[in-house]
Copies of this chain bind each other. A is one copy, B any other.
């Protein structure tokens, strides 16, 4: 028997975990490196941000998952990989240098601010669990402050919520904020009139959910309008300073909360020992076997990989399904059964609000309550861990019948800086 080789996987997301699970552990010692000690579930971040679910329900400890039999031979290391040395075949985190025989970059994406001045300091984002928690806290903070504020202008500013970006994340968070306005304010904030709260969704293009079909775009627009969300299409944001958001057409709106969902980019790495750099959107160009072009024994899968095919000349959509299927294909390839990747499109979906979602599966288009139940079911079943599924199910049923908002909790960070936390 040949000695086992070391496979280092950067990222314990959909792609990385599926690869770790399915690759042949008789051939590979697998190390999953992730900056968080948990697998997270990005499709539901917006529900954390809008107090619909608690973060623990959509997070699953990686060590807990790796205890399962199908992962035997996999280890987890906490750490943020900052640099890759393709000559020495090592990756570095703050606390160690790991040697690899094969490396898989499955680190996903983060927010792209397109270089807009200081934007990252002022906007809220929902691309990670902690970002979603922060957004939740800030939304609740604005409502509390508005409750006590008697200055009319300041009050209006505190109660104006702007979402930038009309993709699924933007539509979903705008819908959730619309429901807050429509269903929650009257019951729980007696000092705020619901009509004082404004939710504005801004999209640079002329349609919402452009990655889906035109019927989904239209349904989303109609659904958001019924939730009293003001949708502004064809409007480009220029800047935001924490008090006013300005647009390319010269207009501006006073607001103290902007949720930025308008851009993503691959998580950045420093690469030494090679001239290869990530392509547009910081994605790594890969061939059909997920090999990063120009590098040996380095692969990329999921949102951070850019595989140009005849059907997808600009690369695949950055969706969980692509990552999962690429993890599977690469597992086969690394286990000695070379398998070029072919994406099987299972459809896309987005939720707008209570009883209202859109689903596109090939030519089939679902909308309204049926689509909404389909959305709930698919997302519930995709969660890791029976406990999490149970708790999420209970929360959803509860909220559906009670509009209860038992999770509208504002956990302020502790007063003293956390001493020993790992750096970025």
Cα(A388)–Cα(B394), bound, Å: 10
Judging by beta carbons under 8 Å apart, are B130 and A63 in contact? no
Cα(A341)–Cα(B292), bound, Å: 75
**Stoichiometry (number of copies):** 2
Cα(A77)–Cα(B418), bound, Å: 29
Q: Which residues of B contact A187 (CB under 8 A)?
A: 67
Of A8-16, A132-140, A229-237, A346-354, the one with at least 4 CB within 8 A of chain B: A132-140
Q: Which residues of B contact A149 (CB under 8 A)?
A: 95
Q: Which residues of B contact A420 (CB under 8 A)?
A: 138, 141-142, 145, 256
Judging by beta carbons under 8 Å apart, are A59 and B388 in contact? no
A:159-217 near B, CB below 8 Å: 187-191
Cα(A166)–Cα(B120), bound, Å: 46
A114 in the interface, Cβ–Cβ < 8 Å? Answer: no
Judging by beta carbons under 8 Å apart, are A416 and B148 in contact? no
Q: Which residues of B contact A398 (CB under 8 A)?
A: 387
A70 in the interface, Cβ–Cβ < 8 Å? Answer: no
Cα(A36)–Cα(B424), bound, Å: 29
A129 in the interface, Cβ–Cβ < 8 Å? Answer: yes
- Which A residues are closer than 8 A to B by beta carbons? 36-38, 54-57, 59-61, 63-64, 67, 75, 77-79, 95-96, 120-122, 129-131, 133-134, 137-138, 140-142, 144-145, 147-149, 187-191, 242, 256, 385, 387-388, 390-391, 394-395, 398, 404-416, 418-422, 424
